[in-house]
Amino acid sequence: MVIVVNNSAKIEVDVFDKNAQPKEKTELPLVFYIPIRKDLIRRAFHAEFTAGLQPKGRDPMAGKRTPAESLGVGRGLARVPRVPGTSEGAFAPMTVGGRVAHPIKTEEKIVEEINKKERLLATASAVAATSSIEFVKKRGHKFTSTALPIVLDSSIEKEITKLSEAKELLKKLGVWEDVERSYSRIRIRSGKGKMRGRRYIEPKSLLFVLSSINTPFAKAVRNLPGVDVVSADNLSILHLAPGGVPGRLTIYTKDSLLKLQERFKNIRVVLR
């Protein structure tokens, strides 16, 4: 797969240490130069999101376990099946406690398919969107950094072991305000989802792309509101574009950029 990008120069970004001071500069991998395809990102998101849905269905006898029978005609009553000895209707779809007229069937296909190359290009496009200030602001993220993406030195993954240290780093980088935004917007879901294990709605905040999720730094930040931590090998469209909307505020480590470059090596980007 070859992608030609016109009028593009290679971009260098600062690599920050644990004190949020620029340590060196690094060149972004070519995956960050890929054009941002919102349509392709949304299609890939639906494909990956529906792949995790559990097939739904109904008991074939639901609403039918009743001795209710219709009394027939000539009685001045509607011909609704009624429970013997009462006037209570049952079995029919329009009655309280009756069967569902058109229940969901287990044979229904709820997974949206997508080609492998399309998924790869969509993921690469979503990675490129994390370097666009315009797309990140459209998602509602709050930050004061003037250059995206934010890249940390790989040594931070082992040097920062406490949340208090990570909090100070995020404040100096100018992204802690986005974590506070997510915390202030946590609210109780409306509807029956409250009874089904999804009582609260928590807005998405920072995404940390690290070389490993078992490092001390990953364990220090993973419980922050709205924050997700993922390794570069498992990075997917679900992390990069929640809801199918690209431009999530993302923080990378230098090692994770090298892994991304290796992961998307099949996409050849030509700068002109």
Q: Catalogue all structural domains in the chain, each as residue range(s) with its CATH number.
A: 2-53+112-271 (3.40.1370.10)
Q: Which of 3-7, 41-45, 99-103, 119-123 has the lowest mean pLDDT?
A: 3-7
What's the pLDDT score for residue 10?
A: 80
Beta bridge partners of 271: 5
Q: Give me the pLDDT at residue 27, please.
A: 92
Mean pLDDT for the chain overall: 93
Q: Does residue 260 carry a pLDDT above 90?
A: yes
Residue 204: the pLDDT is 97
Q: Exposed/middle/buried for 103, CB within 10 Å: 0-12, 13-18, 19+? A: middle
What global pTM score does this model have?
0.84
Cβ atoms of 266 and 31 closer than 8 Å: no
**Residue closest to 153 by CA, chosen among 230, 250, 255:** 255
Return the pLDDT at 268. Answer: 84
- Dihedral through CA 213, CA 215, CA 217, CA 220, nearest 10? 80
* Rounded (10°) angle between helices 163-173 and 176-184: 110
Q: Give the model's pLDDT for residue 3.
A: 83
Q: Where does the pLDDT of residue 13 fall: very low under 50, low under 70, confident under 90, or very high at 90 and above?
A: very high
Average pLDDT over residues 144-166: 94
CA 97 to centroid of chain Cα atoms: 37
Q: Is the pLDDT confidence value at 6 over 80?
A: no
CB atoms under 10 Å from CB of 238, counted, come to 19
Structure tokens at 145: 């950094």
